[in-house]
Amino acid sequence: MIVFFQSLLSGVLIGGVYALIGIGLTIIFGVMRIINFAHGDIMMIGMYLTYNLFAMAGIDPFLSIAITIPIMFVFGALLQKLFINRVLNALPQNQILLTIGLGLIMSNTMMLIYTSDYKILSTSYSSSSVKLFGISISEPLAISFVITAAITALLYWFFLKTDTGQAIRATAQDREAAQLMGINVKRMSIIAFGLGAALAGTAGALISPTYYIFPQIGSIFTLKAFVITVLGGMGSILGATLGGVIIGVAESMGAVYISSGWKDVVVFVLFLLVLLFKPAGLLGKSRM
């Protein structure tokens, strides 16, 4: 039973960070109805930003999110204004090709700057753990989960209690009706994409102490973010949160009870089963 609870807890902790990635993609899709296939690459940019802040300025990865969040928000807002905004009314395949192209530009730019060598962000606590009732808990994952929970709670407050948050929700529910009510939907789109990029960059900062950093890592997390978003229900923040935790637990359980090489297969089998029996996702009827 110790092994079961160990893998369950590890899955929940890493699933919290996965949820943050999925929420960012969900916000972008909810407002603009665009699936951002460069989402993982934006997270990769956040990882390299965190690495540079640590290597050059000695800033702790978890403290660096105070710098990462505004920088990534501005980066995402610029991407939306300069590129994404031009294809909002284009064919879906054109939107997909644009975001894939942006992702390729990001990953290849990082490869030119840093080469394809793996970077390791080693802190004094990267491999540290604490014991709780016989279960070993990774310190960096535990800290990441707490920060993720705080950011998610703040995000819910923002969407429910602030005028801008409610305007974003209104735009996600009905873009034309929101525009008729006087909401600047273009501005909301820029803010939404900026928020999505900031969340992706934050997730990159949080997992930097426990993951290798390399230019192609973005494609891995783009796929995870897409699975999480569809699994929870397209456009549902609560669904993305639930989907992230489920994916984290499925990976952890699959690695322990089947094989570490098969953990991704377990995730995709679960994903296909949900699509088969509940095509709208677990919380597909939920709205932002």
What's the confidence (pLDDT) of residue 4? 87
- 123 pLDDT band, cuts 50/70/90, is confident
- 284 in any annotated domain: no
User: Is position 261 within any domain?
Assistant: no
Q: 207-248, pLDDT tens digit by residue?
A: 999 889 999 999 989 988 999 998 888 878 888 999 999 999
Report whether pLDDT(72) > 90: yes
Question: Do the domain assignments include residue 282?
Answer: no
| Residue 138 pLDDT grade (very low, low, confident, very high; cuts 50, 70, 90) | confident
Which residue segment(s) compose the domain that 8 sits in? 2-216
222 part of a folded domain:
no
With respect to residue 229, please indicate whether it lies within any of the assigned structural domains.
no
* Residue 60 belongs to a domain: yes
Confirm whether 147 is domain-assigned: yes
CB 231 within 8 A of CB 281: yes
Please state the pTM of the whole predicted model. 0.93
Q: Using the predicted structure, report yes or no on whether residue 190 has a pLDDT greater than 90.
A: yes
Q: Per mean pLDDT, which range of 49-53, 88-92, 156-160 is the poorest? A: 88-92
Token pair for residue 246? 């489920």
Mean pLDDT of 93-122: 93
pLDDT of the residue at 285? 57
Q: Please tell me the predicted confidence (pLDDT) of residue 236.
A: 84
The per-residue pLDDT for 135 is 84
Average of per-residue pLDDT across 168-175: 91
Total structural domains within the chain: 1
SS3 letters across the chain: CHHHHHHHHHHHHHHHHHHHHHHHHHHHHHHHCCCCCCHHHHHHHHHHHHHHHHHHHCCCCCCCHHHHHHHHHHHHHHHHHHCHHHHCCCCHHHHHHHHHHHHHHHHHHHHHHHCCCCECCCCCCCCCEEEECCEEEEHHHHHHHHHHHHHHHHHHHHHHHCHHHHHHHHHHHCHHHHHHCCCCHHHHHHHHHHHHHHHHHHHHHHHCCCCCECCCHHHHHHHHHHHHHHHHCCCCHHHHHHHHHHHHHHHHHHHHHCCHHHHHHHHHHHHHHHHHHCCCCCCCCCCC
pLDDT band at 280 (very low <50, low <70, confident <90, very high): confident
Confidence class of residue 170 from pLDDT cuts 50, 70 and 90? very high
Structural domain contains residue 225: no
With 50 as the cut, is the pLDDT of residue 287 above it? no
C-beta of residue 109 within 8 angstroms of C-beta of residue 41: no
Mean predicted confidence (pLDDT) in 113-136: 86
Mean pLDDT for 259-278 is 83
What tokens does 256 get?
């322990």
